[in-house]
Chains A and B, each alone.
Chain A
Amino acid sequence: MEAVLKNVASTTELLSVAALSGEVQRWDKQTLSRAFQWARYCEHLFSRFHNNPAIRMLMEKQLQLTNQSLRAAFAECIEVSFTDLSRCQHLLLVGLLKNPELPISIMKILFDTASPVNTQQSECQDVTGFCSHIIQCKSACKVLSPLADLSAVGADAEVQAAMLMERLDALLSQGSEACRTEHILDSVLRGFEGAAGHFCLVIAAALLTKKNSAAQCASQDFLLDWLQKEQSVLQHMCSALPATLIIDLTKGHLKFRDAYCDLLKKWASDMEYSISEGEWVQPRRNRTVSFNRLTEHFLGLFETCPSLREDVIKELNDLKMSDGDFDVRGLSVWGDLLSAVNT
């Protein structure tokens, strides 16, 4: 373990050296390759131990120490946290590329775009064209993304959902406390600030992925429970997602169906009749869905889950009766809903 910690410390120091010192002027292809090897080694350590709290703690302590000594040596050192280790190669690359002392020959190696057949079997094949390959990937994604209707949610949402579920699986399988896992989901939500619609797609994709094991089902279950608590996300999902997605979600998860049904009822109960518009509307501060749309939601739900229809109609009827059982439009949202749904 000592050796491992030492290596982590050295690689952390290496990152600062690569980014901030003039040492890089003396680097050659071999040095570059070795640096990236060490970075890959740290990434490997992260994937091995990030679910192991004891070792993780040891590493975090070591990193703290190293960061301290680096602060003494460099004015603006690169402070490395444990999670940073997962992207060590990227940090190394960013540091190098931003370092004005980096020799242009090293940059040329990183951006080398030789054709695949012509690359000789050199010992530094891992770094040759490292950046070129990244750029190719990113550009290829941009080229292909306009081809619409790839999937209901989009390739990037699917990949992000997979990443999220993998993390949840790991957390839950090692018996993390529920509040810690929720905390992580909350921080993910915050990361999507300003892209709430996309976040909904990610959650939908996460819930729609086919699960093969009980552990994976547990993750989806956890996500659903969290959704119940995080009503704003649920609301956004139900109002912004395309109908087909919502239908798939209700078919796949009972919890979602019930939450969705409750939400629809809540939306209805919040509605007021506006004489000027001649229609039921939500309160001004929270306009997400129209009465017509609400009706469509109910109809869609009934089509997907016929068994639910009877119960909900009965409920609506009871509510209508408690409102006075009038058959005049505009007096009870439940009555108007019923008539809209029954036609």
Chain B
Amino acid sequence: MSQLQPLIQLQQAAEPPLDVQEMRFWLDKAVAWGQADTQKDTTLHLSRLRDFLQQLLTHINNMSSTTDTMKTLPLLGQFLGRLCWNPYVTADAAGRRLLFQCLWGLYSEHPGNAVERKANQWIRKVLCQLATEEDDDPAQALMKQMGVPPKEYHLKVLTKMVALLQENIGKSCSSLCNINQRCSCDNILATSEACVPLVTCPEAAPLIGALLQQPVTCVRAALSEDFLDALSSAYSSQCLSLEEQAVVSLWYHNLSSLEEAVLSLLESALTNSRSIPQKQLEQSLLPKACAQHCSIFLVVNDIFRSILKQAEGKESVKCFIRTFTSCFLRELALQQHQTSVSLKAMFPQSPQSLLLPLLTRPSEMPREAWRRHLNWLSGSLQRLTEEEEEGEEGDGGNSSSTRFARYRRVFEAWFLLVQCAHWVQVAVQLLVTSEPEDCGPLLWLLIFYHHPTNRGHHRARQLVHGKEAWDHLRSLFLASARPLPVDRLQSLVALLSPQSQQPSLSPSLTLNLLVHFAVFLQQSPSASTDILQTVVDRSGLVDEAECVLSSLELRLDEDNCLSSDTGRVHLRIQALQNTLTRMHAASNCADN
């Protein structure tokens, strides 16, 4: 309660005075609810009632004494009293909490007059009655005779009700029934409405799960909108206790809870800059949910698209999307025997000719075929971008919609490439061992990945820069002279720093190349380590380098790339990781 005080003082200036009219409105509502069968009306108003109770609470806490509160709101006691006996309000955790807090707010530690003394007595009495009185005399007598405590009895009855209702839900009707006929699915809407105040009740979780997961075979088997809204808000305040499959069904039914889940996963994965998203994704339910429901995957991808457009090529976002997609594909493979959704349905906007070639994992084809495959990919993508550019330069008769369509095609192709970026990594790996004449297509692919748009036709110059960087790295790593040439190292460091002049090569592109050179080039480990250590140290990209290494290791593990030098490669990665960890520790010490 004390935590509210400073906040209230802040709000006091802005808070509008509590409307007596509004009080009257809600009191009339409370009276009406006490009389007839008013379930629908109560659940309809539940969230607004909570807001009003919050306002009341603020008002009560603002007043210096209960006497003052009663002066400003004489109907308050009546109102709260009626709400106490409304099970829809008391079953809901938030409603109950606010109600009790209002009551505590009216309790006076040191009552100054008869009004306050009476209020105190009344509050104690109401709470005692709520917690201990039984209105079912026969049941109470039976409890005493059978030696069952009331708490246990009520819990048992609730559990039994939930179980019986769950059974009822399971009996769905045949789908092609006459619209005018009654069917057993009518009760699904009614049950979901009744469950609106119960979304935070852990004992009702099995029933809510069953409601969410029942197959929608009948027109009448719809869930109440209020129910879905209540679930969504409980989900965002983390008060929901549902099992996994029920959560997946919630995402399927309710867009806002799905969006929330995706955004919070992204946030937790991206704020942790040191580790790659793999761990979080393995623990998350989202990839599995996407595999079960195509529609969920489509929504998730739309969210990714908009994040990508805003993130302006941030490598961590791209890395996340790649990891998510591969987790998703793994889950999909596990599900295949149950659903046979075509890839086209999962990736409807991607250029179909690129779909299968990009989704195929490197481990699914022989190593010797990689270069040819990548050359083909690079060529296809190049053609796509050229089409778009030609269209741009064409006559003004081209409508903006077709230009937009061509732009879309390029974007979708690039998005698919981001989702399947393992091929980009393979390209980098192959670049390390390429001859200068073979670099072209691979470099193009790499540059396209990092710079999808060709604003001002910079790509040609970027290709040149890329080749230069490659040459640079190659000669550095192949050089046998020791100590390492300082100027060459320095120019490499310069490449890795963010450059002001356009067009620059993305530092992450260069870093990627650097790490791959260090791992795959068959030079002495110590030389490679030295070069990496020096460059990374001077450019301050330790974290990023560690990320690249971890990603590489993961990709090699996932793809089970067995070759003659797998062992050597892993040892090399290990050594480099150790070096980077030491550097990281050293810099931490230096900071502290």
Contacts and interface: CB of A to CB of B under 8 A. Distances in A.
Given A90-B132, A164-B142, A191-B145, A136 B127 contact: no
A50 B147 contact: yes
Contacts of A162: 156
A93 B142 CA distance: 20
Contacts of A50: 147
Given A89-B151, A136-B91, A142-B87, A199 B158 contact: no
Max chain A C-beta neighbours (<10 A), residue from B154, B165, B202: B154
B107 A104 contact: yes
B147 A97 contact: no
A143 interface: yes
A84 to B, nearest CB: 8
A117 interface: yes
B96 A150 contact: no
Contact of A104 (B109, B164, B202): B109
20 contacts: A83-B144, A94-B128, A97-B132, A100-B124, A107-B127, A111-B127, A115-B200, A116-B239, A117-B239, A136-B96, A137-B203, A150-B165, A159-B157, A163-B142, A163-B153, A164-B146, A167-B147, A192-B141, A195-B138, A199-B138
Contacts of B132: 90, 93-94, 97
Contacts of A88: 149
B203 to A, nearest CB: 7
Nearest to B147: A86
Given A136-B91, A145-B161, A150-B168, A86 B155 contact: no
Interface stretch (B52-60, B174-182, B191-199): B191-199
Contacts of A115: 93-94, 200, 237-239
B157 A191 contact: no
B172 to A, nearest CB: 16
Contacts of B155: 137
Contacts of B255: none
A87 B147 contact: yes
Given A90-B150, A108-B104, A116 B164 contact: no
Interface in A161-217: 162-164, 166-167, 184, 187-188, 191-195, 198-199
Nearest to B241: A116
Contact of A141 (B96, B104, B149, B161): B161
Q: What is the predominant secondary structure among interface residues of chain B facing chain A?
A: helix
A313 interface: no
B37 interface: yes
Interface string A139-158: 11111111101110001101
B426 interface: no
Given A140-B204, A155-B161, A131 B143 contact: no
A193 B187 CA distance: 34
Given A147-B191, A184-B145, 8 more contacts: A104-B109, A107-B127, A111-B131, A134-B151, A138-B154, A143-B91, A144-B161, A159-B157
B147 A191 contact: no
B350 interface: no
A160 interface: yes
Q: What is the predominant secondary structure among interface residues of chain A facing chain B?
A: helix
Q: Which 5 A-B pairs have the closest CB atoms?
A: A191-B141, A86-B147, A139-B91, A142-B87, A139-B87
Nearest to A191: B141
B173 interface: no
A134 B154 contact: yes
B443 to A, nearest CB: 51
Given A131-B131, A136-B93, A87 B150 contact: yes
**Could you say which interface size class chain B belongs to?**
35 or more
A110 B131 CA distance: 10
Contacts of A4: none
Contacts of B198: 140, 143-144
A43 B149 contact: yes
A136 B151 contact: no
Contacts of B96: 113, 132, 135-136
Nearest to B239: A115
B190 interface: yes
A98 interface: yes
B203 A140 contact: yes
B41 to A, nearest CB: 14
A133 B141 CA distance: 22
B160 A155 contact: yes
A147 B130 CA distance: 23
A46 interface: yes
Contacts of B202: 116
A138 B88 CA distance: 11
B200 A137 contact: no
B149 A86 contact: yes
Interface residues of A, number: 66
B100 interface: yes
A188 B136 CA distance: 14
B162 interface: yes
A160 B197 CA distance: 26
A143 B227 CA distance: 14
A192 B107 CA distance: 39
A167 B147 CA distance: 9
Contacts of B273: none
A117 B191 CA distance: 26
Interface string B399-420: 0000000000000000000000
B188 to A, nearest CB: 11
A206 to B, nearest CB: 12
Contacts of A131: 127, 130-131
B145 A140 contact: no
A187 B203 CA distance: 33
B97 interface: yes
Interface in B179-225: 187, 190-191, 194, 197-198, 200-204
A137 B160 CA distance: 12
Nearest to B207: A144
Nearest to B89: A139
B32 interface: no
Given A137-B203, A138-B87, A87 B143 contact: yes
B148 interface: yes
Contacts of B67: none
Contacts of A144: 158, 161-162, 165, 194, 198
A143 to B, nearest CB: 5
Contacts of A113: 93, 96-97, 100
A117 B154 contact: no
A146 B39 contact: yes
Contacts of A143: 39, 87-88, 91, 194, 197-198
B232 interface: no
Contacts of A158: 160
Contact of B90 (A136, A149, A193, A195): A136
Contacts of B341: none
Interface string B344-384: 00000000000000000000000000000000000000000
A86 B198 CA distance: 29
Given A144-B194, A198-B138, A134 B161 contact: no
B139 interface: yes
Interface string B287-305: 0000000000000000000
Contacts of A138: 87, 154
B515 to A, nearest CB: 41
Max chain B C-beta neighbours (<10 A), residue from A43, A102, A137: A137
A134 B132 CA distance: 9
B93 to A, nearest CB: 6
A159 B153 contact: yes
A167 B148 CA distance: 10
B208 to A, nearest CB: 12
A147 B160 contact: no
